[in-house]
Amino acid sequence: MTTHDLTRPRPATNGGQTEATETAPPTGDGASPVGFLDPDDCFTRPFCQTPFVREHLVRIDQYDLLETELSRFAGVVISSHADQDYLYRHRDVIREFLDVGGVVVFSGHLATRWLPGAASFVPRDIEDHADYVVSEVTPHPVFDGVSMDDLTYQRGVAGFFARGHNPPPAHATAILELPGGEPVVYVDDETTDGTIFAHSGNDLIGFGRRETSAARVPRQLVSWIRTESDVAVGGSPEPLRNGEDRR
């Protein structure tokens, strides 16, 4: 986790990529854009230079959070490398976005209590590589057509997808679990008026570089965010869809 003690946003150094302060790239169907909250480190900087980001996301420098109108986004994807101390100090901004129907997606080990309803990361006791095996307990559009083996193993090595879990609230829906029943991906659409999609491993939004079925995840994640969001184009919340299963 990167930690910075800053009170004002710092300049972005993203090489000219689309910023939240500029016009978002068109979605082609009139849908609100999806933001990527970027800590601008050595891991996320190359990702923000990819065609996928230019075509599907709007980069938001993490330290511009207080100056960004989040309500014009369908959802915001938060990197596993985010400065969680900063997010904790400004957790009300995340909560306000969720409470107008926004979608927040987080991958990583939760270190501070900035994500509504979630508890801090709990590592799993590992005795064998089979302890890392991921199983799908609730079908979800983000993982449609994705082999669980392709999530569990990367070039034959297990453990990259999840090595523990961020304990969710009791009402959350577990999507993927480890062998001990630990939910490593869950959806929570009850703690707030929006939807939280939480994963306890490396950034799902970066899986497009893989040469397996796991490469389907980033595009399906962006598509699901736009479908799931209750933030209307222009920043006004839409009425909640009574009785609709949004998981």
Bridging pattern class, strands 122-123 and 164-165 = antiparallel
Q: Are 9 and 66 in contact (CB under 8 A)?
A: yes
Distance between CA atoms of 75 and 95, rounded to whole angstroms? 12
Binned at pLDDT 50, 70 and 90, residue 143 comes out as very high
Centre a 10 Å sphere on the Cβ of residue 147 and count the other Cβ atoms it contains: 14
Binned at pLDDT 50, 70 and 90, residue 208 comes out as confident
Res 182 pLDDT > 70: yes
Distance between CA atoms of 139 and 126, rounded to whole angstroms? 26
> Between 12 and 228, whose confidence is greater?
228
pLDDT tens column, 34-85 = 999 998 887 888 888 889 999 999 999 999 999 999 999 999 999 999 999 9
What global pTM score does this model have? 0.83
pLDDT score recorded for residue 29:
56
Res 8 pLDDT > 90: no
Distance between CA atoms of 88 and 115, rounded to whole angstroms? 8
Burial class from Cβ neighbours inside 10 Å (0-12, 13-18, 19+) for residue 223 reads: middle
Share of the chain above pLDDT 70, in %: 81
Distance between CA atoms of 48 and 33, rounded to whole angstroms? 16
Res 24 pLDDT > 70: no
Cα atoms in the 13 Å half-sphere on the side-chain side of 135: 8
pLDDT score recorded for residue 233:
55
Distance between CA atoms of 171 and 233, rounded to whole angstroms? 29
